[in-house]
Structure 1
């Protein structure tokens, strides 16, 4: 069964997507757009704060991180600052592209010179290339990861210099203290403990930093360090912490005793995820192998796949299917169905190539809302070739809600985020290519539907509610 993409119209360059109301994207061209503003107000839309994470931090006072505003008029032409930022970004893109090409050439030359057994056991070029690309990505943007608390309206944001900020949406204010430690370097992943909401696990170069926090706006303890090597992924269920890293290990941790049991040592892990109720642990490695464990007896099963490593993924809320994006399978969402008795089946994939703005672009992140009704797609940064600032939104279904072999995703539509902001002019928007999304996270508690928070490449954090009108509540 194919999807109908014919009705998809991307928001124009002078529009900002501020909400979805009853399945339709609401876009604003300026603060004078009274028709759409009135629709948002009549649907009881909330005015969320506008937050800005700076590229550089001035310690210890740090910076002024947020102001409250909605939308302002768009300027006719970019300011000098906007032209400067645009020029600087293009220069950085070109340098990163040249550096990556150079590293690939050097790596291939060394592999051609060394005997095959040395390639495998002494110098693993694939791992080195992967690690280098990971480091370049985590240092490029002001903020790189956002994650909401499991049951409070609080989220954590990772800054590029490995400082973590906490924001309390209940009072619209940043926590006065930040999470930083000499061990916490090169952060690549982060997760809250689901039922232990004062525990935040942070994966980094040296291992895992476990923060025990007070949610009364102050830190309570220094982090514990659990050893691992350059974590690519960590995931928490109700009782356990699992980590995966490029040295080939998946470790199950007892965080109270600070001890871990290796589940495997033979795979360079790029993706790791518990099912929502903890039945299964799912992993993917750099060589494209996919494994899944059932967590009662810890038996495993290898999943037949296309041989590409998984870049991102998320479970349906019932834990019966996974939406996956593969590195090397650009513009495709793959769907894996998992039964309670540990059987699996690949469902029809979703091809995004009919959306012109998204054709041929790799998927960076998939995020599903806590109600399981919306899936949002964030794309990789390929600005040298194509703008990738749009988000794609799907209606999502559970496997039990559709007939066998039917699509779990339908009715795709696109959303556009904020334009570039000038830190010296809180009301400025620049008429240039919009910043791309870097990290997505849905609030775990939102009574009117769902709330998506997005970190953009210029450090802005936006809030996009998915609302039902008063009539349909």
Structure 2
């Protein structure tokens, strides 16, 4: 298995990645990057009005008044459920019979013991909501990230950006209006996704619920009313860390590390069906295959499930070291690439299509996962000193044509020579699966990538959107002619100003091919 040593070396300090043209990654300076795309945005941290006061602290603004035990008990049940009610009764020992106070205390102690035992099996249950989202988010360093979620629309050039101040902005290059979405329940946004085959519906994963915004693309309003958002919630299903629409837009999936059930929502009816399996301790990440046949569901434990969506049965896949951190599907849904926490390799599962007249429930899935790339740490000797690239994987993104695979590497925040970086592979899925080195995507000096996503409908190859730690959003085009589409002539790619020549000796070196695996 080859390593990142086959990649061209990272860019020198002061250079940023502009695009891929003629099988080479071209670079330029800061000014070239800012002028490369009119869709590039910048959200300085200082410009965001952050919340400085929690909701619970607002109680101090009101005068205290006496409440009866039953009023306090009802409020405790509403806010904290059974545990809150038992706490209130135990603390009100002077107002209730002694046997009731003692009994409530014993039941509360038993519940806490059971909870501590459960938490010892699943340590993530002891985390706060924000820490839990940061732990399982696809965004690197989510807690401190200015851009917390990003979503391209599947059919147009508009996109949604969720910011640190709990607002969501929608940008469309064909419109001068930039709607800003705000809702009292829109807190700690972990993920967003536009509904397929629909112009206006945007699903948002929040701390305590799902919001589905319906934003009229023809409206000139810059601040849609909160009545434009559907609120979907289920007891115990929060924080929501991942969502996934079916390719037809008929169903919406949601996942929470606190809930062992994966929720299947009928948004129009505002109803859901829980899909629950024993083991795992929750669901952290979802990915629906483009052909609609399978769903990847990761858990906080060292196992993940692949559901088939005709009969909604699943296969369990155990991991050796940790949980499944991220995954992505090939355009035809036949191949799943995934990364495991604590490991530096990319695995692949291959799913055979069902013959005509044969139910998918009667077919057996893949027997084992194959290692297709090794991203162990590799040292590059550059003009600015040694740079160590590689290590654990934060997220994976595969372009809709299946020809470019982007891998966000975590790096080491404590070491300046181990930065977070995006490694891009050239991929081929037919007639055999192959991985080829392409290069590294880098930003301005001192800035690291936090989130990435491919444009779902870029006509000239692939377009990778990168959200950086500085609050800047840039778009890196990869110009190429798709191998899946016949062409009459091989015309040149669009040229950019001030390109920095890069060695092309790595273009034909294969990291993985099914012929030699």
Same fold (TM over 0.5): yes
**Runs of 4+ off more than 4 Å:** 56-60, 114-118, 357-360
How big is each residue's C-alpha offset from its partner over 1:343-375, in whole Å with a ceiling of 9 and x where there is no partner? 124122311125335655321221111211101
Pick from 110, 117, 123: which aligns with 1:125?
Answer: 123
Shift of 1:456: 0.3
Query: Are the structure 2 counterparts of residues 381 and 56 from structure 1 closer, same or farther at C-alpha, using a change threshold of 3 Å?
Result: farther
Q: Does 1:339 pair with 2:348?
A: no
CA distance in 2, matches of 1:170, 1:370: 23
CA distance in 2, matches of 1:391, 1:59: 30
Shift of 1:460: 0.4
Query: Are the structure 2 counterparts of residues 166 and 283 from structure 1 closer, same or farther at C-alpha, using a change threshold of 3 Å?
Result: same
Number of the residue aligned with 1:443: 455
Number of the residue aligned with 1:12: 12
Deviates more, 1:133-142 or 1:452-461: 133-142
How big is each residue's C-alpha offset from its partner over 1:220-265, in whole Å with a ceiling of 9 and x where there is no partner? 7521111131012111112110111012221101101111001016
TM-score after normalising by structure 1: 0.75
Number of the residue aligned with 2:469: 457
Number of equivalences: 387
| Structure 2 residues without counterparts, runs of 5 or longer | 51-110, 135-140, 354-362, 380-386, 482-489, 494-517
- Does the residue aligned with 2:180 lie in a helix, a strand or coil? coil
User: Superposed, which structure 2 residues align to 1:231-250 within 5 Å?
Assistant: 231-237=240-246, 238=248, 239-247=250-258, 248-250=260-262
Query: Are the structure 2 counterparts of residues 265 and 18 from structure 1 closer, same or farther at C-alpha, using a change threshold of 3 Å?
Result: same
Number of the residue aligned with 1:23: 23
Q: Does 1:350 pair with 2:381?
A: no
Query: Are the structure 2 counterparts of residues 265 and 224 from structure 1 closer, same or farther at C-alpha, using a change threshold of 3 Å?
Result: farther
Shift of 1:12: 0.7
Q: Does 1:181 pair with 2:195?
A: no
CA distance in 2, matches of 1:138, 1:3: 28
| Structure 1 residues without counterparts, runs of 5 or longer | 32-36, 61-113, 420-433
- Does the residue aligned with 1:441 lie in a helix, a strand or coil? strand
CA distance in 2, matches of 1:207, 1:163: 16
Number of the residue aligned with 1:391: 422
Shift of 1:197: 3.1
Shift of 1:142: 1.3
Shift of 1:121: 3.3
Number of the residue aligned with 2:401: 371
- Does the residue aligned with 2:255 lie in a helix, a strand or coil? strand
User: Superposed, which structure 2 residues align to 1:153-232 within 5 Å?
Assistant: 153-171=157-175, 175-216=177-218, 217-218=220-221, 219=224, 221-227=227-233, 228-232=237-241
> Is the Cα contact below 8 Å between 1:381 and 1:436 reproduced in 2?
no
Task: Indicate the structure with greater strand content.
Answer: 1
**RMSD across aligned positions (CA):** 2.9
Q: Does 1:53 pair with 2:62?
A: no
Query: Are the structure 2 counterparts of residues 3 and 397 from structure 1 closer, same or farther at C-alpha, using a change threshold of 3 Å?
Result: farther
Deviates more, 1:242-251 or 1:387-396: 387-396
How big is each residue's C-alpha offset from its partner over 1:238-296, in whole Å with a ceiling of 9 and x where there is no partner? 21101110122211011011110010164411111111111011111111221121111
Number of the residue aligned with 2:491: 471
Query: Are the structure 2 counterparts of residues 214 and 275 from structure 1 closer, same or farther at C-alpha, using a change threshold of 3 Å?
Result: same
User: Superposed, which structure 2 residues align to 1:86-125 within 5 Å?
Assistant: 119-121=116-118, 124-125=122-123
